[in-house]
Amino acid sequence: MQSYREIREFIEENDVEFIRLAYFDVFGTQKNIAIMSGELERAMKYGISIDGAAIAGFDADIRSDLFLRPDPSTISIVPWRPADGRVCRMFCDIVYPDGTPFERDTRYMLKKAMQEARSRGVEVKFGPEVEFYVFRQDERGRRTDEPIDQAGYMDVDPLDAGENLRRDICYALVEMGITPESSHHEQGPGQMEIDFRYGDPLTAADNTSTFKWAVRSICAADGYAADFSPKPIADKPGNGMHLNISVHRIDGEDRKADLDAFMAGILKHIREITLFLNPSEQSYWRFGRMEAPRYISWSGQNRSQLIRVPADPSGRRRIELRSPDPLANPYLAFTLLIYAGLEGMGQNMTPPQSIEANLYKEDPALMRGLEQLPASRQEAMQCAMESELVKRCVPASCLEAYAYEGKK
């Protein structure tokens, strides 16, 4: 849907009374303001005012009047809200009063990165795999430390107590226009994964944000608490957000060398951009443990590596980046990965030799020669502050917000 008339028809057909206009701060935290459906025409024509000075990383103290412009292509029913007087959600672009895009809107940053890729004749696609834990709540609705079950990888009921919960989440995603591909219990107690179809970077980031919101809301409605943090239980597997990435020529002629160069660019810059892929201190407790990478390396089908090239019977080739976690702002993370990969393509980089070894069990002498991901948030912050790539792609106020405020 693109026109106001189409949106109006959708609202009337679905008995929508409230519209949530959603946007994000620089950390990817979703914000929203609700308007009545009768205000939509004004919102689409002029925007809805917000106080930019109140949003983390926006650095809008002087020019604090910002406006939300709904993106009509993102309208979606909120299926867990009441059926009478229904609620829908629209993602928004953030603009100045004159309509100029707000440069610290990470959704806008991603659009610019996509335009840069297209100007070079390529399209990049992302397929996130987002993991989360489900914990029980106490009588006051607060999260306890008790997972929903003690099941393991791909167990079934009755060991897997999250089967019905995942089904409800999948149904909600379908109603919101997202196509789930699979769902299963993960390795940790109460740990789940639901994978949905890959897409262009903006769609993938929108879907990831929608997914996390849906999971949290549906879990809360059922008396549970969803936890996307990288290491909810110290001695159990952490939550990752593995990213499947593919590169395609707009002219239809895909080349192996393109993906190789794109991967080489990511490998070169991964230390510099890790702060934005792994924004919390807890993120660094996950590295090097239980299938989470520590070393900057790649391989085919090897889950101990930072990047693996998965086997695919269809012949389609992609890479899987295994370091990001679900607390990353997907808009900013995808932006930096695109620019890093494009630099690799622009400079005809080649990846280093693949390492066909299990890095969790290999001879320490081999691993001493490998570069490592940052060992702490402080180290990741230092790498980002010194990075020319980050300085070119991330506004100074956003970098400052990550450096000095950060996710706790």
Instruction: Quick: pLDDT tens for 326-354.
Output: 999 999 999 999 999 999 999 999 999 98
Instruction: Quick: pLDDT tens for 7-22.
Output: 999 999 999 999 999 9
Q: What is the three-state SS of the chain?
A: CCCHHHHHHHHHHCCEEEEEEEEECCCCCEEEEEEEHHHHHHHHHHCEEEEHHHCCCCCCCCCCEEEEEECHHHCEECCCCCCCCEEEEEEEEEECCCCCECCCCHHHHHHHHHHHHHHCCEEEEEEEEEEEEEEEECCCCCEEEEECCCCCCCCCCCCCCCHHHHHHHHHHHHHCCCCEEEEEECCCCCEEEEEECCECHHHHHHHHHHHHHHHHHHHHHCCEEEECCCCCCCCCCCCCEEEEEEEEECCCCCCHHHHHHHHHHHHHHHHHHHHHHCCECCHHHHCCCCCCCCECCEEECCCCCCEEECCCCCCCCCEEECCCCCCCCHHHHHHHHHHHHHHHHHCCCCCCCCCCCCCCCCCHHHHCCCCECCCCHHHHHHHHHCCHHHHHHCCHHHHHHHHHCCEC
Q: Find, among 223, 205, 171, 243, the residue nearest to 330 by Cα.
A: 205
- Give residue 297's pLDDT: 92
**Structural contact between residues 394 and 272, judged by C-beta atoms closer than 8 angstroms:** no
Q: 407 pLDDT exceeds 60?
A: no
- Please identify which residue in the block is written with the tokens 């699979």: 182
Separation of CA 153 from chain center: 23
Total-model pTM = 0.95
CA distance 226 to 13: 32
List of domains in the chain: 4-102 (3.10.20.70), 112-404 (3.30.590.10)
- Please identify which residue in the block is written with the tokens 């393109």: 258
Q: 129 pLDDT exceeds 90?
A: yes
- Give residue 362's pLDDT: 64
pLDDT, the chain, mean:
92
CA distance 106 to 314: 34
Instruction: Quick: pLDDT tens for 253-291.
Output: 778 899 999 999 999 999 999 999 999 999 999 998 888
- Give residue 251's pLDDT: 87
Q: How confident is the model at residue 358 (pLDDT cuts 50, 70, 90)?
A: confident
What is the average per-residue pLDDT within 72-89?
92
What is the average per-residue pLDDT within 140-157?
95
What is the average per-residue pLDDT within 65-70?
95
What is the average per-residue pLDDT within 98-119?
96
Q: 207 pLDDT exceeds 70?
A: yes
Instruction: Quick: pLDDT tens for 38-56.
Output: 999 999 999 999 999 888 8
Spatial CB neighbours of 401, under 8 Å, sequence gap ≥ 6: 26, 27, 56, 57, 59
Q: 143 pLDDT exceeds 80?
A: yes
Separation of CA 115 from chain center: 19
The number of beta carbons lying within 10 Å of the beta carbon of residue 212 is 20
Question: Phi first, then psi: what are they for 63, rounded to 5°?
Answer: -110, 75
Instruction: Quick: pLDDT tens for 378-404.
Output: 999 999 999 999 999 999 888 988 887
Question: Phi first, then psi: what are they for 339, rounded to 5°?
Answer: -65, -40
Q: 408 pLDDT exceeds 50?
A: no
CA distance 203 to 127: 10
End-to-end Cα spacing for the chain? 38
Q: 32 pLDDT exceeds 70?
A: yes
What is the average per-residue pLDDT within 92-97?
96
